[in-house]
Amino acid sequence: MASQDNVSRSEAPNASDSRIALAKVALVTGITGQDGSYLTEFLLQKGYEVHGLIRRSSNYNTQRINHIYVDPHNANKARMKLHYADLSDASSLRRWLDVIKPDEVYNLAAQSHVAVSFEIPDYTADVVATGALRLLEAVRSHMADNGRNIKYYQAGSSEMFGSTPPPQSETTPFHPRSPYAASKCAAHWYTVNYREAYGLYACNGILFNHESPRRGENFVTRKITRALGRIKVGLQTKLFLGNIQASRDWGFAGDYVEAMWLMLQQEKPDDYVVATEESHTVEQFLEVSFGYLGLSWKDHVEIDKRYFRPTEVDNLKGDASKAKEALKWKPKVGFEQLVKMMVDEDLEMAKREKVLVDAGYIDAQQQP
């Protein structure tokens, strides 16, 4: 498990001195998130040295990457290193670019929850939109001052399309319906501008919804599978949701990080939609997940209007033909396989939780 002390030691100015000879070096913002953890695994398998930027927090949030963390004192094995920085702090971004000297930069960090962005719009815009601009400018100035070339990946979102009818491709007009989506649109166009104005190798990956057992528990798919596991073992009886008629193009995050990497391996930078090209409603997700465990979702799910957004996005379905042709990429995990993968993981988690509850070590904190 990564310790705060180990991270601070990796912040020494010679943090990049021990890099493996000839290995490519990647800098990943948002490394502790779902996508960051899968991307780091992928890059390490490719032989990269990976540096991740993490925010200071009183709670050490490295659960998704603890299994691949190696103490930096073990220089022969520690090919992932962590450093404190923030997209709201331009000086920290430039400082670590100068120290790490990456070949590739993947900007995955964001306040990524759509519903939450309505509650903290200023913060969302500062991190998602202006944060991307800060990082782009840090990359540009570092390259200009050091005579280096860096390839840059910007994480976009299908939410940028908003109310534009599906299928949505790279040429589909954006119509964002939340502060998060509008901020992602700004980050997208900042990236295009830096590519055109400065010749920066910069790509936008417009990724449609991608899920996994590592998805945050307040996102609807993981909220469902987490609650389902607890319902199955008797720790919970009800699940409260909002608009279950909303339709999304859901894929597996582990598949999508390969597309990110492929974008930066092309001769020229470009923008790509990454999607399964299938759309399913939240209700269909409920049917597959609850049915897999022999339950009826109608016996446990209640609609709560507090989970409806001020402006809803009804249907997102990607057209990934460009990525399939240019990147030779296609998803490996289908919808039902993804749902069952998440249910299996969360059922095991619920069983472990049940053991602790029955032994009196933790409070069930049971919902209605």
Question: Hey, which residues are catalytic here?
Answer: 157, 159, 180
Give the number of other CB atoms < 10 A from CB of residue 200. Answer: 20
Q: How many residues does the structure list for the chain?
A: 368
Q: Which residue has the tokens 């032994």?
A: 359
CA atoms within 13 A on the CB side of 211: 28
Could you give the angle at which helices 90-100 and 131-146 cross, rounded to 10 degrees? 40
Q: Which residue has the tokens 């997102």?
A: 316
Give the number of other CB atoms < 10 A from CB of residue 228. Answer: 25
- The values of phi and psi at residue 364, to 5°, are -60, -25
d(CA 142, CA 140): 6
d(CA 183, CA 179): 6
d(CA 253, CA 212): 6
d(CA 322, CA 74): 42
d(CA 109, CA 165): 28
d(CA 202, CA 327): 16
Q: Please choose, from the candidates 115, 120, 272, the residue with its C-alpha nearest in 3D space to the C-alpha of residue 191.
A: 272
